[in-house]
Structure 1
């Protein structure tokens, strides 16, 4: 039994060694035959160039602000007596509404005192006017008396010349005339004093009226009113609170006077201006993205910032919102979209079709790719607008990949009539095409067993996935 087992073991070892030798011979024999090399063909989507007139859209981002805002500040210090019922953050108020009323006791007392001073000044003015009238009458009477004294003197002189009058009478007449002149001078001095007192009284009345006006203004300042219709914000006031002069109590914002500020590059700004450098009044759309959709508004370009801030490039533009301002609020971050001047003789292609050097892959003769340079004019989201000398209808690769380049043979995949990619989800294979792909999969030693099994399972179906067919045929080269 032992000899039998030994002989059986040696026989099995000899059979194993023989199988190993035959396997090495077969492998060496297969490796010596050169394999047929075929050109690899890639599949990619192609689109034709269609030239025409395109109106580019410029997209920017900006912030909404109000062009009409008012800070509610206390002009005088005091205690807040009452607040308006609508004095709440976000509440709408009408023009002229009393929002805050301060305690007017001190201002009222100051106004009454100023009113009394005005009355005193008016009384002093009236007295000065009466005194001036009396002084004027005194001057008139003194001048009349002086005239009479002069006539008496002339009569005495006439009598003296005829030898009738005496020298004593003549001297008395001269003294009386001189005294009359002195009385006129005294009355004129009193008239001047009365006029000065009248001017002083008038000045005092003016000063008293100014004081009264100031007191009335301070009394009015105890009431803070809405200068225009708007909404309240940033409120900081409570009843009974003590406020100081110029303390801010809130903001009044006009929700209908809104504008949006956004920044564009210098090149984009040049396309929005007239030849003389003035800004074109172009219409634009304003969109605010929300969870339930978008809030749309309309506006028009109004002005450009007068200076460029340090360290910032481009230009800051302002647009006045003309429609739909009621749904927006100052501080909203919005998207601005406006139409630029139309471009003629240009084409729009996918953005993935052009590389960093502004080159595209053109489908040439024999379905081989050629590189062509184009002029990039605008970027429009996932598309670009170009200008090129290529003839209309020229097909280019819609999406460049690192595997594609000049000279590579391509199997073009063109859009169908509906505009979707030509390859369907599944394709039907004829027996010869199916057998060729199966033979390729079974004879490809570079594939793993799982990959080979997956390809064979797909090829065994009546309708084979189009991705599988395209993948295999790009490797086969057919």
Structure 2
């Protein structure tokens, strides 16, 4: 009994010591308040995840400028005279279509000059036609006179033979000689005429070309009496009215095209910095621009 009791007591002591050690171990390793709070924070919160998509970012710069027409036109008076007609839309700010006759300068003197020059051309052409007819007539007459000359020579030879034989009088031979000389003069006259007519015709033809050029010049001057819009435009200046006398070279109207406009815009250095190429090598070669006019 004593041995059994001793063994039991040892077992109880060992169990008690073991339990005490376990309690001390768990007590030493218990989590404090800070650790609990830290674990609570580290445990995280539920979140929603979104996939980021790739987009192309376009840098922009804002500038200001005045809208200007890409091309403009000055209507000059190419001839002098009095303005006799104007278009009803000839006012500053009005839109004018291409081909519109804006002003018309008195064409009276230019029409008269054109008519006179055309009449001169007709007269010269008539003279050339007359020369051609004379040339044809001279050639025909020359052929006839050459035949007459041949007969006169034969007749003179025949009479000369008879005179040598004493069959005819000397007066008949002399008459035949005069007829031969007359035929020779006629032939020579027609030949001279035929040699002179071509030279005269060339002179007239040269004059004809000169007068025809005069007709074209008169027609050009006549066309210059009208000031015509070369393209669709908006009038910026109007410097002439109906009844006003104008001189050649005077600016009558000024217009701006409406098909293409330009804006010489001004930008600050800060606004164009994003537009510079990578590496600081200056602006890119190509730009896209959007224009907004004031009031739109």
TM-score (norm 2): 0.59
Instruction: Find the aligned partners of 2:248 and 2:108 in 1 and give their Cα distance.
Output: 16
Q: By how many angstroms is 1:170 displaced?
A: 8.6
State the alpha-carbon separation in 2 of the partners of residues 258 and 181 from structure 1: 86
Q: Establish whether residue 204 from structure 1 lines up as the match of residue 207 from structure 2.
A: yes
SS at 1:193 equivalent: helix
Q: Is the 8 A contact 1:132 1:198 kept in 2?
A: no
CA distance in 2: counterparts of 1:291 and 1:87, whole angstroms: 26
- For CA contacts below 8 A with separation 6 or more, give which structure has more relative contact order: 2
Counterpart in 1 of 2:230? 227
1:132-180 residue CA offsets vs partner (Å, 9 max, x unmatched): 33322232222222333455567679x69xx8999x7899878865664
Offset of residue 74 of structure 1: 0.7
Question: Structure 2 vs 1, CA of residues 154 and 63 (structure 1 numbering), >3 Å: closer, same or farther?
Answer: farther
Q: 1:152 to 1:268 in 2, by over 3 A?
A: farther
TM-aligned CA deviation for residue 77 of structure 1: 0.7
1:215 match: 218
Tell which structure's C-alpha radius of gyration is larger: 2
CA distance in 2, matches of 1:292, 1:66: 19
Correspondent of 2:121 among 118, 123, 140: 118
Between the aligned partners of 1:65 and 1:147, the Cα distance in structure 2 is 91
State the alpha-carbon separation in 2 of the partners of residues 200 and 151 from structure 1. Answer: 41
Q: 1:177 to 1:258 in 2, by over 3 A?
A: farther
Distance 1:292 1:108, change over 3 A: closer
> Which residue matches 1:194?
197
- Tell me the secondary structure at the aligned position of residue 224 of structure 1: strand
Given the two structures, how large is their TM-score scaled by the length of structure 1? 0.39
C-alpha distance 229-144 of structure 1, shift in aligned 2 (>3 A):
farther
Structure 2 residues not aligned, in runs of 5+: 1-53, 267-275
1:93 aligns with 2:96: yes
Provide, for residues 69-102 of structure 1, a one-character-per-residue CA deviation record: whole Å limited to 9, x for no partner.
Answer: 3321111111112211111122222232211012
- 1:240 maps to 243
Could you tell me which residue of structure 2 aligns to residue 83 of structure 1?
86
Q: Give the number of the structure whose residues are more often strand, by fraction.
A: 1
Instruction: Measure, in 2, the Cα distance between the counterparts of 1:123 and 1:239.
Output: 43
Q: 2:290 & 2:167 partners in 1: Cα distance?
A: 117
> 2 CA distance for matches of 1:154 and 1:286?
108
Deviation at 1:203, TM superposition (A): 3.1
Q: Distance in 2 between matches of 1:258 and 1:142?
A: 83
Matched, 1:249 2:283: no
The match for 1:286 among 268, 284, 289 is: 289
- Say whether residues 1:104 and 2:107 are aligned partners: yes
Cα distance between partner residues in 1 of 2:106 and 2:248 = 13
Match of 2:188 in 1: 185
How many positions carry a matched residue from both structures?
Answer: 227
Task: Give the unaligned 5+ runs of structure 1.
Answer: 1-51, 273-281, 294-478
> Structure 1 148/258 Cα, relative in aligned 2: closer, same or farther at 3 Å?
farther
Mean CA deviation greater in 184-193 or 53-62: 53-62
Residue 35 of structure 2 is matched in structure 1 by none
> Counterpart of 1:113 in 2: which secondary structure?
helix
Q: Deviations over 1:16-67 (max 9, x none)?
A: xxxxxxxxxxxxxxxxxxxxxxxxxxxxxxxxxxxx9978769697876545
Q: State the shift of 1:255 in Å.
A: 1.2
Question: What is the RMSD of the two structures over their aligned residues, measured on CA atoms?
Answer: 4.2
**Residues 236 and 172 (structure 1), Cα distance of their counterparts in 2 relative to 1, 3 Å cut:** same
Contact 1:125 1:205 in 2 (8 A): no
Aligned to 1:74: 77
More helix by share: 2
